[in-house]
Structure 1
Amino acid sequence: MLKYKKLTTKHTPRLLSAALFILGSVVTHQSQANTLKVCYDQWAPMTIFPTQGAPSRGVVIDMLAQIYAAKGYQLDYYEVPLARGLNMVAEGLCDMLPEYLYSEEAEQDFEFAGQATFSYPSAFVVRRNDPWRYAGIQSVKGKRIATGPGWNYSSMSVDYQAYLDDPSNSNFVEVIAGDDDVVDRIFRMIKDKRVDLYADNELVLQHLLHRLKLNDDLVIVRPGLEKNLIEIPIFSKKIPTEKRKQLIKIWDQGRVAMQGAQLQKLLEKYQVTLGDE
């Protein structure tokens, strides 16, 4: 029978220190194992860079936090431009990015989740007294359209993107360059009659119209472009396969479960509504 030696005072400090070190290492390892590193860019109200006066991070980030917190995960956020965020996910510096447009080319660097964050309906913004409505590509001819540099609408309407790209239409397409206030300026340009219309995710339009207090001057009109904008979380292929599959499973199951009143509460927090949900 094995005899256990009685622990003397002389041995206690060293053994206690060793025990505490091992315990600390285990806790640290578990903390790291249950931390999800999230890269995201600014796309209010879906994803927002918080400030001291406005700490909220957006509908999608709140959704993400709720889903993973329920499974014991803590989220670390990296607020970066989209291109940098994509690079960080590809390199494994971030575990995931919550919204990206699906493409076969992107599958080489990332694994897409099975469930989208949202299938966003698009809409247009025009001056409140403008009777114009979208009725296919013919209806935009002669209207001054605002967009941003390199923005691509082809997933929602191939014809609309082709119209924007056609050099013969360049006099009617205003490309607004800038860092983070492009759409704000577009709204004001529509109000000032410098351009006529702008298309985007309807939730983005609702949020901006409210934030800029332009409801008396501008209006959101439907129908939007032919297809919805479907945004899907992407996960780094640098994550070990088993862990990556588990992270995706948590998202997929959590997003399917997040419907009805729970989802409506998130949307109401940012004063937007989504009729399709």
Structure 2
Amino acid sequence: MANMSHATTLTVCYDQWAPMTIFPSAESSARGVVIDMLDQIYTAEGYKLKYYEVPLARGLDMVAEGLCDMLPEYLFSKNSEKDFVYATEATFAYASAFVVRRDDPWRYNGIQSIKGKRIATGPGWDYSSMSIDYQNYIDDPKNSSFVEVIAGYDDVVDRVFHMIRENRVDLYVDNELVLQHVLNQLNLNDDLKIVRPGLEHKLVEFPIFSKKMPTAKRQELIRIWNEGRLSLKGNKEKMILNKYNVTLEE
């Protein structure tokens, strides 16, 4: 208890990516699977966690600027290594999938299959770890009229789903758990559907830590995460996932 009363504060920036990371509301204080894991790992080591709920692009900037110590989930991107240090242990490796209108027979079959389709994404979102071809396609200025970048605070994915239903965009790719969660939350199963396969590789996410903090502090925070994440494998991990009604396929 004496240790807890002098707890070191860990500042955490994170974006809305339910059910993995969730902004609490008047209806629910839940923060999502990954935040629950983070909380368990660091409070056990005497840390107090302070959260900043921000869009992903802002969260990345805040970690790079040293305004936050860490962000709990980000995919590996070589472009980011100059601003952040990645933990060794991933949060999860997610299978991706697409969401389209229910009457759309489209399936992903390599980059040729998305040509002419209107694609939704968000600012600062990087798909290169899942598919270099897909990332290059959405980055190519020649395709800008087919790529819709949706900015927002906590409802980007929700808005994308409504835009697909309204025929304003055609498809969106994400973590399959996120797609299923949003589809159910918005009650759009009659209008939209999830289609597989997704992109070529799984989406592997890692916590990232600011380079602005002292090296020794950062190394200690990363060590705590790496050891803590390993300790949650198995039943402890399943209990947290069950709380949010999701199951990861092996």
**TM-score category of the 2 structures, normalised to the smaller one:** 0.7 to 0.9
Tell me how far apart the structure 2 counterparts of residues 71 and 149 of structure 1 sit (CA, whole Å).
34
2:159 aligns with one of 181, 185, 189: 185
Residue in 2 aligned with 1:223? 197
Q: Amino acid of the residue matched to residue 183 of structure 1?
A: V
Residue in 2 aligned with 1:6? none
1:44 aligns with one of 15, 18, 25: 18
Q: CA deviation at 1:275?
A: 0.9
Residue in 1 aligned with 2:122? 148
- Scaled by the length of structure 1, the TM-score of the pair is 0.78
Q: 1:72 aligned to 2:46?
A: yes
What secondary structure sits across from 1:42 in the alignment? coil
Q: Amino acid of the residue matched to residue 182 of structure 1?
A: V
Question: Where does 1:1-277 land on structure 2 (aligned, <5 Å)?
Answer: 31-149=5-123, 151-276=125-250
Preserved CA contact (<8 Å) 1:126 1:218: yes
Preserved CA contact (<8 Å) 2:83 2:210: yes
Tell me how far apart the structure 1 counterparts of residues 142 and 68 of structure 2 sit (CA, whole Å).
42
Q: Amino acid of the residue matched to residue 140 of structure 1?
A: I
**137-146 or 245-254: which moved more?**
137-146
Question: Over the residues paired in the alignment, what is the CA RMSD in angstroms?
Answer: 2.7
Preserved CA contact (<8 Å) 2:117 2:170: yes
Q: CA deviation at 1:113?
A: 1.0
What secondary structure sits across from 2:68 in the alignment? coil
Q: Highest Rg: 1 or 2?
A: 1
Structure 1 residues without counterparts, runs of 5 or longer? 1-26
Q: Amino acid of the residue matched to residue 237 of structure 1?
A: K
Q: CA deviation at 1:226?
A: 0.8
Change beyond 3 A, Cα 1:241–1:150: closer
What secondary structure sits across from 1:39 in the alignment? strand
Deviations 1:107-137 (A, max 9, x none): 3333221111122221101223333221111
Tell me how far apart the structure 2 counterparts of residues 200 and 162 of structure 1 sit (CA, whole Å).
17
Tell me how far apart the structure 2 counterparts of residues 38 and 150 of structure 1 sit (CA, whole Å).
18
Change beyond 3 A, Cα 1:248–1:209: same
Q: CA deviation at 1:76?
A: 1.9
Aligned residue pair count: 250
Tell me how far apart the structure 1 counterparts of residues 148 and 211 of structure 2 sit (CA, whole Å).
38
Identity %: 70
What secondary structure sits across from 2:220 in the alignment? helix
Structure 2 residues without counterparts, runs of 5 or longer? none
Higher relative contact order (CA 8 A, sep 6+): 2
Q: Amino acid of the residue matched to residue 56 of structure 2?
A: L
Tell me how far apart the structure 2 counterparts of residues 171 and 94 of structure 1 sit (CA, whole Å).
35
